[in-house]
Chain A
């Protein structure tokens, strides 16, 4: 019976074409608006590393002087080199890496390629394994390189292509901020979306965006030793001596620290370890503010730095409000469509169809409309996402519909049509056959 009702529903599309078209367009526009905004929201709040996001952990420390006026707004989001160095030496966790964003002039040392400004990230060697980054060529630098402040660099595949084309990049040298570095690895299509490990200002404002990717990765120890400029927020809780040496000896925060715990281990251990660290530092007269430490896993961190901004929420909220209006409108249109067929319903009822059968038939017809509407809706949603993508490089990466969102769009459209069809269908089952037959 189901298949038959679907076929009937499709045939009914051709009757009263204007009304049908109105229903389909209304549904499609509503679904397109809500699904395109929802896609961006979903991509922004998606888990960049689902296989182990609950085992990759970070922290913030409030290292302001005990008597400062503080407040949540002033709480440092980064860490000082004092703390990152101590945490790295502490050696807790399966893998660990401090990091900070840097940038500077890349001198390719190759004919025909001009100097340009490259974005860099100073990390420890564990960073690549922690982030499940695959290498197209070479590998991460060694633990010895970390210790010896080696002049080595890992570059992204886009950077390798730009500098060396399709040739082997390993062993070549390039100059970054005046330092000669040897290429030891080329990443293979590696990108975190959102780029959780370093998100200054929630990925907005002056800093790098949610979808940006670094061109070069250098050892953190090397970056500190060669005084690489900081591309990111530097926030000083107390005065610092001049220069880079003054900065790294001070309580100024500009780094982050990530650890990966072994599989099956518990975040409580990280908490206990941090509590121990804070107690130890407090004995040295540091970290005297109330609640000096907070810990986060990847998803906690994304919500803390505010990846999903107000505007995205607002757009999604209003788009779903818009869908509601489209739904109410569809109810009215379907009511009109079904009411016009009271005579037909009367005949079916008189010939023995039960109310349940009428109900099924008309609800399926509404669903069929929704299915047809979903085709148009998905096409419109793709168009809207395409327009959004032109707004910024971040949106270009975020405004992409995956299979889940595509299936959701179709289901939403059908569900919307069925829900909108409930009242008109119920009204259709209330048709009194005798009255209808009499007037014919």
Chain B
């Protein structure tokens, strides 16, 4: 093999080679970490909401000045929304998955101070919410109509005696139990905290905030309608709903109560998802752009340096060709040389990537780098190096020995 002569030639003129190696090392470190953050953010943005068909489920939030009879208004709204053609079912609730704002509370297994409490979203179900959202019940039973409490927050602090929990919360509260049916949880961990009996478990219902921590898995569903002057109506469209159904829903609401203001119009869960994860997509997009530019810059650096070397070595190439080296030999020389430089760079890059990752981990919550991704990065950067050097190497191989050695 020709490694020894190439190496000794490199050692006589180290600057350029070191520059390229350093550049590859830095590119590797940044690209790997960027790719990793991109993957992390896209994975967060793709988490399920628990809603089976996010396009078909719409939510509308309204605000109004304390109406005379909130309950009568809600009943009338629900009836007339149900009558809109194209609407499959309707529900009233206090918060929707990915919706932004909502209720949360602390839940504990025992009503004593020592019992650690877990933060979870509080969803109020009027008896129609789960089928309207399309959230799956995986264990136990759904609320009976007679279990639904109607609560006026201005006069009452009652809580229903039963509740559904998400699978995630069940696992957090009772890590060692096969089934949580019939168990009691407390809303708070003091002696007077209200008790709730778990009658069923739902697969998942995303919290309104969709936190990046494990908390986003925790929700408790209460069988109650809260009489507050701002609530969400959730509407499930039929698969064959006409395109103007959305407008009809808004018109119906406006007709029922002209003074009411719908805060953000009618949004599907898919719209809410896009809005909630806009930041994640922005970070991923920006990092992707940085990565692409980095690779272009590095490739152009390698091309530039290799072209310089080809020019500097015209005579040597000519002599080698005159002494019987084939074109393939010349190309092989440059590729081997490049692989040696890139290899050094990538090895240094592996170390730099870990250092950068450690720095990022200290600044924010990210799991450590996976080895599979590192291996892929190594191969990709070596290929980038070879690909960049190929052009100048081919040009070098086409040098005519006679011309290249003429000035000797």
Q: CB within 8 Å of B: which residues of A?
A: 19, 22, 26, 29-30, 33, 67-69, 103-105, 107, 115-117, 177-178, 204-207, 229, 238-239, 241-244, 310-311, 313-315, 317-319, 321-322, 324-326, 328-329, 331-333, 335-336, 339-340, 388, 391-392, 423, 427
Contacts and interface: CB of A to CB of B under 8 A. Distances in A.
Contacts of A315: 283, 286-287
Nearest to B117: A69
B19 interface: yes
Contacts of B153: 242-243
A19 B304 contact: yes
B22 to A, nearest CB: 5
Given A115-B261, A241-B157, A322-B293, A328 B19 contact: yes
A325 B294 contact: yes
Contact of B63 (A105, A206, A336): A105
15 contacts: A22-B300, A105-B64, A115-B261, A117-B63, A178-B66, A311-B279, A315-B283, A321-B26, A328-B26, A335-B16, A336-B308, A339-B312, A340-B308, A391-B279, A423-B15
Contacts of B20: 332
Interface string B191-227: 0100000000000000011000000000000000000
A318 B297 contact: no
B301 A332 contact: yes
A116 B260 CA distance: 9
Given A69-B113, A322-B290, A336-B308, A391 B301 contact: no
Interface in B335-356: 356
Interface string B180-192: 0000000011101
A332 B360 contact: no
A366 B132 CA distance: 66
B21 to A, nearest CB: 10
B247 interface: no
Interface in B260-309: 261, 263, 278-279, 282-283, 286-287, 290, 293-294, 297-298, 300-301, 304-305, 307-308
Nearest to B293: A29
Interface residues of B, number: 62
A22 B307 CA distance: 13
A235 to B, nearest CB: 10
A133 to B, nearest CB: 27
Given A105-B65, A243-B154, A336-B305, 14 more contacts: A22-B304, A33-B290, A103-B63, A205-B100, A206-B102, A207-B101, A239-B157, A311-B279, A311-B283, A318-B287, A319-B290, A321-B30, A333-B304, A335-B305
B89 interface: no
Contacts of A19: 304
A239 B65 CA distance: 27
A86 B222 CA distance: 37
A328 B20 CA distance: 8
B380 to A, nearest CB: 16
Contacts of A107: 259
B363 interface: yes
A134 to B, nearest CB: 31
B111 interface: no
B23 A328 contact: yes
A117 B263 contact: yes
Contacts of A207: 101
B27 interface: yes
B8 interface: no
Nearest to B229: A229
Query: Which 6 residue pairs spanning A and B have beta carbons closest together?
Result: A310-B364, A206-B101, A206-B100, A178-B65, A336-B308, A329-B301
Nearest to B192: A239
B235 to A, nearest CB: 21
B219 to A, nearest CB: 16
Contacts of A336: 304-305, 307-308
A213 to B, nearest CB: 18
Contacts of A244: 154
A20 to B, nearest CB: 11
B156 interface: yes
B154 A332 contact: no
A271 B334 CA distance: 70
Contacts of A117: 63, 261, 263
Given A26-B300, A322-B294, A325-B298, A206 B209 contact: yes
A318 B290 CA distance: 8
Nearest to A320: B30
Contact of A318 (B34, B101, B117, B298): B34
B33 interface: yes
Contacts of A206: 100-102, 208-209
B19 A332 contact: yes
A176 B30 CA distance: 52
Q: Which of A68, A238, A241, A331 has the most CB of B within 10 A?
A: A331
Nearest to B187: A239
B10 to A, nearest CB: 15
B30 A333 contact: no
Nearest to A329: B301
Interface in B147-178: 153-157
B282 A391 contact: yes
Contact of B297 (A104, A319, A326): A326
A392 B359 CA distance: 28
A26 B290 contact: no
B367 interface: no
B290 to A, nearest CB: 5
A423 B66 CA distance: 74
B387 interface: no
A199 to B, nearest CB: 16
Contact of A242 (B16, B156, B308): B156
B142 to A, nearest CB: 28
B151 to A, nearest CB: 9
Contacts of B286: 315
B298 A314 contact: no
Contacts of A33: 290, 293
Nearest to A310: B364
A339 B209 contact: no
A78 to B, nearest CB: 15
Q: Which of B16, B19, B230 has the most CB of A within 10 A?
A: B19
Interface string B228-242: 001000000000000
A139 to B, nearest CB: 29
Given A336-B305, A423-B15, A392 B278 contact: yes
Contact of A205 (B209, B278, B300): B209
Contacts of A115: 259, 261
B29 to A, nearest CB: 7
A333 B303 CA distance: 10
B51 interface: no
